[in-house]
Amino acid sequence: MRDLGTGFGYLLKGQRWAVGHGRWFGFGLIPGLITAVVYVGALIGLAYGADDLVDWATPFADDWSGAWLGLFRGFLVFLVFALGLLLAVLTFTAVTLLIGQPFYESLSEQVDKSVSPDGTAPESGLPLLRELWISARDSFRIVLRATAWAVLLFALGFIPILGQTAVPAIGFCVTGFFLTQELTSVALQRRRVEVREQLAMMRGRRLMIWGFGVPLVVSFLVPFVAIFLMPGAVAGATLMVRDLLGEDDEENEDASPGDPATVRLTVQDPDGR
């Protein structure tokens, strides 16, 4: 259970880092703002068009009595919008990271430099277009996995009692896992860690991943909160990657007590500054 607290701690550290570095915080807001405008427009369109979509999909109910027809189609409209909202939550980070790859790459690199004893950050050595292609490819794979889970959980939601208790809880855990994977991929891609290795690594530390991702998912349910938490989420994910890969431990082992690098790391670690 301690890993749950560790994951949540990285989320808080990331937010503190972002707030403490105002210029980078503002820089990291730009992709989220762009994505939010697109998603809000899409959800508004879905809200206005859900009635027509349900009417078109349920012609067999046209002859039902008014009360039953209204209840049935009203319930389906709610489910359609709920599914759209769930998919928006699941894909918001993937789309934002895709749009903001250069932004978050720079932010994550700055976080690495701020906590590294020698002030350097790992680099992939790949051209920008190649990095964008890898990011888009991996994001597409993760979105497919997340969408499959969303459809499965949506179907299980119709099961009495289970659908109203266990399924929502599982949904938060699944969404938190994939959300964290997307966020950590920024730093892991610079370290040339493939998406399969990323998923395997995260499955080995599920509690820490949930401790980071689930609170973030819950906060993302509040409109526009995701925009302001994204810079700190990327920063926290970068700090967590260093833990997952054992980089901080290696640096502490390499540095002797009297080494200036050790002194520098001790000063910078509390808030990542």
> Between residues 39 and 59, which one has the greater pLDDT?
39
Does position 265 have pLDDT exceeding 70, yes or no? no
In a 10 Å sphere around its CB, with 0-12 CB exposed, 13-18 middle and 19+ buried, how is residue 136 labelled? middle
The answer, yes or no, to whether residue 235 has pLDDT greater than 90, is: yes
State the Cα–Cα distance between residues 189 and 92, nearest whole angstrom.
19
CB 241 within 8 A of CB 192: no
Residue range 23-28: mean pLDDT, rounded: 91
pLDDT, position 240 = 93
Comparing 194 with 126, the larger pLDDT belongs to 194
| Residue of 194, 180, 196 whose CA lies nearest to 241 | 180
- The pTM for the full model equals 0.71
pLDDT grade, residue 257 (50/70/90)? very low
Check: CB of residue 126 under 8 Å from CB of residue 190: no
Spatial separation of the C-alpha atoms in residues 55 and 249, rounded to whole Å: 59
Return the pLDDT at 126.
66
Give yes or no for residue 212 having a pLDDT over 60: yes
Is residue 177 within 8 Å of residue 213, measured between CB atoms? yes
DSSP state letters, 12-69: HHHHHHHHHSHHHHHHHHHHHHHHHHHHHHHHHHHHHHHHHHHHHH-GGGTTS-HHHH
pLDDT tens, position by position, 134-158: 777 777 777 778 778 878 887 887 7
More confident residue, 49 or 235: 235
Specify the pLDDT at position 145: 81
Quick one: tokens of 59? 């012609």
In angstroms, the CA 8 to CA 13 distance is 9
Mean pLDDT calculated for residue range 238-250? 83
Q: What is the per-residue DSSP string for 130-141?
A: HHHHHHHHHHHH
User: Is the CB of residue 179 less than 8 Å from the CB of residue 212?
Assistant: no
Using 50, 70 and 90 to split pLDDT, how confident is the model at 224?
Answer: confident
* 257 vs 8: which has the higher pLDDT: 8
Under 8 Å between Cβ of 80 and 53: yes
Is pLDDT at 241 greater than 80 in this prediction? yes
Given CA atoms 112, 92, 38, 101 in this order, what sign does their dihedral have? positive
pLDDT > 80? residue 89: no
pLDDT at 215: 93
The Cα–Cα gap between 269 and 243 comes to 12
Q: Which sign, positive or negative, has the C-alpha torsion 199, 91, 156, 209?
A: positive
Closest CA to 176 of 202, 204, 148: 202
Which one is predicted more confidently, 112 or 251? 112
Share of the chain above pLDDT 90, in %: 19
User: What is the pLDDT at residue 91?
Assistant: 73
